[in-house]
Amino acid sequence: MSHSDAASEREDNNPAGNHRPELLDCCGGLNNVDYSKMDLTLIEELLRHMKCHDFSFCVAAIAIIFNPLFWNVVARWEHRTRGLSRIFGSPYLACYFLGFVIILLNICRSHSITMAMKAQDRWELMDRTDISYIGVFFLVLGTVLVVSSFLALGFTGTFLGDYFGILMDEKVTGFPFNITENPMYWGSTANYLGLALMGASPVGLVLTALVAVAYKVAIHFEGPFTEQIYQERSQRRKHE
């Protein structure tokens, strides 16, 4: 069967596929979002009020995807080879270095998101005082989550110290970890949501959704891995 036959057969077998609302060609990456739970027309309207082919939008999107990918790849490489620790002569120095690079990358990401929002128009529908106040609320909430989780974890705990063999004595369970398991990630997402709402920015909302998806994927890979690191330690302790 030729390629086109297969394609047409698939369409015949799947007539429902023809009724799918046409997505904007650029925004296929958001297919992961469960549209059925949202107001479809509102989302379509939102996407219509932004340009995906904008240069600053693409830069921001790349930064959002690159950052968690970068620190996961580097941290796993360190865990496997102790390469960074060897270069710096100490796991602490290596972890401080990676933390510093992550902070710089996140400043770049925030800057690129701000530029992408500035490059495009505000959306009248969002340009309201109450929505702006909700934005302030999310910004404050996000800042509280990020700052409090940094204070609870410390520098090495925040910046993947586990992968460098710098383990916490015990799992942190106090605030803000009694509210969400990943307060740093969701706090950061809340910050971007706040900025998008305050700026009445459709691009800001779409980029915030991308941040959420990127973090969701990162958590999916980090969670079981750090769990395993701590399990290995408790097994080592039992043997000693």
Ligand X SMILES: *[C@@H]1O[C@H](CO)[C@@H](O)[C@H](O)[C@H]1NC(C)=O
**Cβ closest to ligand X, residue 131 vs residue 172:** 172
The sign one gets for the Cα dihedral 168, 169, 171, 177 is negative
Instruction: Confirm or reject binding of residue 179 to ligand X (CB under 6 A).
Output: yes
Among 21, 89, 174, 224, binds ligand X (CB under 6 A): 174
AA letter at 21: P
Which of 32, 178 has the CB closer to ligand X?
178
The whole-angstrom separation of Cα 224 and Cα 58 is 31
Which residue number, 176 or 204, has a Cβ lying nearer to ligand X?
176
In order of 36, 111, 153, 220, the CA distances from 32 in angstroms are 11, 25, 31, 15
Non-local (6+) Cβ contacts of 155 within 8 A are 95, 96, 99, 161
Structure tokens at 158: 């925040």
28 is known to lie in a ligand binding site: no
Residue 29 structure tokens: 């990456």
Is 140 annotated in a binding site? The answer is: yes
On whether 11 is known to bind a ligand per the annotation, the reply is no
Are residues 201 and 122 in contact, defined by beta-carbon separation less than 8 angstroms?
yes
Contact region for ligand X (CB under 6 A) — 99-107, 151-159, 172-180, 204-212? Answer: 172-180
> Known binder of ligand: residue 223?
yes
By C-beta, is 182 or 201 nearer to ligand X? 182
Taking CB under 6 A as the binding criterion, the range among 57-65, 103-111, 115-123, 171-179 that sits at the site for ligand X is 171-179
CA dist 192 and 146 (Å) reads: 12
Q: Which is nearer to ligand X, 8 or 178 (CB)?
A: 178
Residue 23 DSSP label: P
Residue 180 contacts ligand X per CB under 6 A: no
Q: Is 151 annotated as a binding residue?
A: no
Region from 85-93, 143-151, 153-161, 170-178 binding ligand X, contact rule CB under 6 A: 170-178
Q: Locate 212 and state its tokens.
A: 């959420």
**Minimum separation from the CB atom of position 183 to ligand X (A):** 11
Output the known binding site for S-adenosyl-L-methionine: 140-142, 222-223
Q: Note the residues at the interface with ligand X (CB under 6 A).
A: 174-175, 178-179
